[in-house]
Amino acid sequence: MEAVVSTNVYDVIVIGAGAAGLMCAVEAGKRGRRVLLLDHAEKAGKKILISGGGRCNFTNLYTSADDFLSQNPHFCKSALARFSQYDTLEMFESHGIAWHEREHGQLFCDESAKQVVEMLLGINEENGVKIQLQCKINEIIKNSSFQVLTDTGIFESESLVVATGGLSIPKMGATGFGYQVARQFGLNIVQTEAALVPFRLTGQANESLKALAGISLPVLVSCEEQSFREAMLFTHRGISGPAMLQISSYWQAGKTVCINLLPDLDVRTWLQEQQGLRGKQHLRTVLADILPKRLVLHWCEQYMPDKPLQALSETDLNEVVLHLQSWQLKPAGTEGYRTAEVTLGGVDTACLSSKTMQARDVQGLYFIGEVVDVTGHLGGFNFQWAWASAYCAGQCV
């Protein structure tokens, strides 16, 4: 007589039905593994659905290890090599998802991020993966196998994959549960911070810049020897836009950011030329040809002499160049996890295998995606890390 196998016993349990969790379940399911995917949310792939303005910036053509922050900058190389941006592209195209490229190699769905979630759910269904949503995990126990105690039952597996994401956008259900699991099993956590997040200004700095809310322009922003050339947006609370989100991952409290408002121009040479051509015109009139008028009026009131060009001295020119091309700004802070795209820090990569994502000292325990101390730049890199790290774990669980 054959033994009856409990329906609650699986080969693999994946916690977290985001990009990494869905992808890991896909890969494990393809290998014939019995997979259970658990999530406390009412819907799978919630962050996928809102990403890229609803179009999902699913990878970047120029992905390399240089696009990621980690205490071990080499850790991500193995996974990115085993499942590259081209593998992601092949997966999407093979499932009929049309895409287009935007600036800096960013790839977006032509139609909707819903297609991405539907693709992943469809493949999982084909491979018999069971997905249990609105499932609260109360406890995880490890003996010879893992036992996951939830409010919908007790589930058991040989392998447990933690794909719970970070702390960014708590209104979407983000929690620190993944870090809690890591600590339970003795893994170190690299301090977490909000990343890819707008800056907040307070006091006089914010009051004076509020009038510029809504203005966007291309800039070069620098901090801690890192720089990005992207758009900046003035807001009612501070400064945002891709340039500021990018540099926020490198900024620390108390530090300044240096902003070049005219990165494509040698301002000194240009102004000297204009002095010969339009000497009688005032500085603000001439600058309004190359910068938003509202910004020019504010800048001239704050920093620059209201004089005809021909009256500008060498000292005046130095001041103009300084405030236009080396504007020093000290943010009061960031907007925090509330609006952060991702979480910096996470499960220490020293505790994981870069090839399999398995915890070195806990057989069968894996961590993938944002919960790990690997954080990408803006532009599809964090999705590529999710796919790649999940693929690696999915080949081993």
- Are residues 179 and 44 part of one domain? yes
- Are residues 143 and 17 part of one domain? yes
- Are residues 300 and 162 part of one domain? no
Percent of the chain with pLDDT over 90: 93
Structural domain includes residue 389: yes
Asked if residue 97 has pLDDT above 50, the reply is: yes
Asked if residue 214 has pLDDT above 60, the reply is: yes
pLDDT recorded at residue 1: 41
pLDDT recorded at residue 206: 84
Half-sphere exposure of 324 (CA within 13 A, CB side): 27
- Are residues 366 and 223 part of one domain? no
Average pLDDT, the chain: 95
User: Which pLDDT tens digit goes with each residue over 111-144?
Assistant: 999 999 999 999 999 999 999 999 999 999 999 9
Count of other CB atoms within 10 angstroms of residue 220: 18
Last residue of a domain, one of 294, 312, 334: 334
Structural domain includes residue 284: yes
pLDDT recorded at residue 130: 98
Sequential DSSP letters for 38-67: E-SSSSTTHHHHHGGGGT-EEEETT--GGG
- Are residues 184 and 41 part of one domain? yes
Given the structure tokens 């961590």, which residue do they identify?
Answer: 367
d(Cα 189, Cα 295) in Å, to the nearest integer? 43
- Are residues 47 and 150 part of one domain? yes
Structural domain includes residue 187: yes
The b-or-e profile of 17-44 (16+ CB within 10 A means b, else e) is: bbbbbbbbbbbbbbeebbbbbbbbbeeb
- Are residues 154 and 71 part of one domain? yes
The b-or-e profile of 181-195 (16+ CB within 10 A means b, else e) is: bbeebebebbebbbb
- Are residues 156 and 33 part of one domain? yes
- Are residues 204 and 180 part of one domain? no
CB distance 60 to 380 below 8 Å: yes
Structural domain includes residue 2: no
What residue numbers bound the domain in which 330 lies?
199-334
- Are residues 275 and 150 part of one domain? no
Structural domain includes residue 291: yes
Percent of the chain with pLDDT over 70: 98
Which of 295, 301, 338, 330 lies closest to 202 in space, CA to CA? 330
* Neighbour-count burial of 231, counting CB atoms closer than 10 A to its CB (0-12 exposed, 13-18 middle, 19+ buried): middle
pTM: 0.94
d(Cα 392, Cα 397) in Å, to the nearest integer? 9
Asked if residue 37 has pLDDT above 60, the reply is: yes
User: Which pLDDT tens digit goes with each residue over 165-206?
Assistant: 999 999 888 999 999 999 999 999 999 999 999 999 998 878
pLDDT recorded at residue 7: 53
pLDDT recorded at residue 41: 95
Distance of CA 291 to the CA centre of its chain: 30
User: Which pLDDT tens digit goes with each residue over 310-355?
Assistant: 999 999 999 999 999 999 999 999 999 999 999 999 999 999 999 9
- Are residues 374 and 274 part of one domain? no
**Mean pLDDT across the stretch 13-25?**
98
Structural domain includes residue 32: yes
d(Cα 146, Cα 38) in Å, to the nearest integer? 14
Last residue of a domain, one of 297, 315, 334: 334
The secondary structure of residue 7, as a DSSP letter, is T
Q: How many domains are there within the chain?
A: 2
Structural domain includes residue 235: yes
Last residue of a domain, one of 315, 334, 353: 334
- Are residues 328 and 241 part of one domain? yes
Asked if residue 47 has pLDDT above 70, the reply is: yes
Structural domain includes residue 4: no
